[in-house]
Structure 1
């Protein structure tokens, strides 16, 4: 019996405490966890003593602003038929014919028109202020013409030269005209501001035939902005068309609905220029738009 107790004590001494090994494993895990570091959102593991990884930096970048540039005007000076835009209103076209009349014919016609047309300077009223129109005009046709709240009475007695010019242009364009607005730009200070020939009496998509004599002047066009542009003309298409002595320019299609035009003042000396714009007017606006 004594021998059994001795053997048990010896075996117990050899075995050691029963929970020694599990304690050793737990301590090992604790020691391991103490030697590991969890960093930030990256959850990457590094050993004790190693440098910590740099924290992820958040840098704010503002959205890049879209730089919108106004397009350069397109210059048109060669003879041809140009489709300048397409929209729900239709296709806008211009037909440029430099030298429609040769120089000798054009010289003679210019002198005749300068002397024989009953030129007048009309008065406009804007915000109760009266001012003289910066050019001289005359109106030929069957009915009065009203634009910018100014009514011009029709002169039914066409000068023979005007009848000849109308016939030549009708033969070329295959259109008929019954009215004519004559403009005399006496020098570089005379002008006409931005406008469209879109009065109801002209009907839908009118054909306007413009014939120029005398000093060359720049004819400018700009496309009307889309409704969402809030009448801002900064970024619209633009055309510059030099109209020389004896040049014919025909505007047709949706040009008057979708575009505006002008002859601006200039800052270098110019001689006189005469411009004749032939058109067809309707006494009944209802008929004009059918």
Structure 2
């Protein structure tokens, strides 16, 4: 009787003695039930995902950063004919002939032209501001030549050395030329900015023969952007051509319509360079027919 009262005081009722084995089985049963429920839920979710079409299943992918990088310039320095682009305008082609003039002969020609050509520095006017061209020029041809709103008068009095060079280039290229623009880059600070030789007087797809004498300068070309690029040259094709003493460069096809070129300033050469660019000029009526 005393034992019953003691158990009542401890448990608050007529509870029997605690059966540890039974409690353990009860707890185990509860845990097993929970595990079964979790497994059932997981299997149900997997079955649902397996039933979904692949395009509706969610797969996490880290976002990829899209980076558009300007293409590396293509460097051309070996002799050969290169088709640098193709477009509705046609094929843009350059022909590089290093050593067209023998070095010893080129040395003599360079000195003669440097001393005997009537070089002049011309002044441009842009937006009511005037500035001097960063080079000296001379023009030879039976027709005047206008570029950047600057007109060079006709000059049919060719220097004999220039006539000889014209004949030699015509014999090699099988093209005829009637005009010549001479450029003198006095040092590395002289230059010519981006432009195309696409004046109407040159006709469609003109052939330009460019002979370099003196210091090596880099000749750079860049393709004109597509209309949707809004005149942005950041991602266009580029070509770099080092023009050495005695090198002849031919630009043909759509190279003027689809590309621009320049000779940039440099900071490692203080020697002069003479560049002779032979071309064919047409009168207004002739240009319309080309």
TM over 0.5: yes
Q: CA deviation at 1:162?
A: 0.4
Where has structure 1 moved over 3 Å in runs of 4 or more? 47-65, 285-290
| Corresponding residue of 2:96 | 96
Q: Check conservation: 2:207, 2:252, Cα contact below 8 A.
A: yes
- Structure 1, unaligned runs of 5 or more: 1-46
Q: Check conservation: 1:203, 1:285, Cα contact below 8 A.
A: no
| Corresponding residue of 1:246 | 246
| Corresponding residue of 1:23 | none
| Corresponding residue of 1:276 | 276
- Structure-2 change in CA distance of 1:156 and 1:98 (3 Å): same
Q: Which has the larger radius of gyration?
A: 1
- Structure-2 change in CA distance of 1:165 and 1:61 (3 Å): same
Query: How many pairs does the alignment contain?
Result: 245
Alpha-carbon separation, structure 1, partners of 2:280 and 2:68: 40
Q: Check conservation: 2:215, 2:269, Cα contact below 8 A.
A: no
* Cα deviations by residue, 1:212-270 (Å, 9 ceiling, x for unpaired): 00000000011111111111111111111000000000000110011110000001232
- Structure 2, unaligned runs of 5 or more: 1-32, 50-56
Corresponding residue SS for 1:167: helix
Alpha-carbon separation, structure 2, partners of 1:104 and 1:147: 34
* Cα deviations by residue, 1:79-135 (Å, 9 ceiling, x for unpaired): 011111111100111000000011111000001100110000000111211111000
Q: CA deviation at 1:51?
A: 5.3
Q: Check conservation: 2:200, 2:287, Cα contact below 8 A.
A: no
* Cα deviations by residue, 1:135-177 (Å, 9 ceiling, x for unpaired): 0000000111111111111211000000000000011111110
Query: What RMSD over aligned residues (CA atoms) do the two structures have, in Å?
Result: 2.1
Task: Give 1:191-202 correspondences, 5 Å limit.
Answer: 191-202=191-202
Relative to total residues, which structure has the larger helix share, 1 or 2?
Answer: 2
Q: Check conservation: 1:212, 1:247, Cα contact below 8 A.
A: yes
| Corresponding residue of 2:72 | 72
| Corresponding residue of 2:188 | 188
- Structure-2 change in CA distance of 1:49 and 1:252 (3 Å): closer
Q: Check conservation: 1:137, 1:184, Cα contact below 8 A.
A: yes
* Cα deviations by residue, 1:31-78 (Å, 9 ceiling, x for unpaired): xxxxxxxxxxxxxxxx66745457999898685342211111111000
| Corresponding residue of 1:173 | 173
Alpha-carbon separation, structure 1, partners of 2:254 and 2:85: 9
Alpha-carbon separation, structure 2, partners of 1:89 and 1:181: 25
Corresponding residue SS for 1:143: coil
| Corresponding residue of 1:123 | 123
Name the stretch that deviates more: 224-233 or 50-59.
50-59
| Corresponding residue of 2:227 | 227
Q: CA deviation at 1:287?
A: 3.6
Alpha-carbon separation, structure 1, partners of 2:160 and 2:87: 40
| Corresponding residue of 2:163 | 163
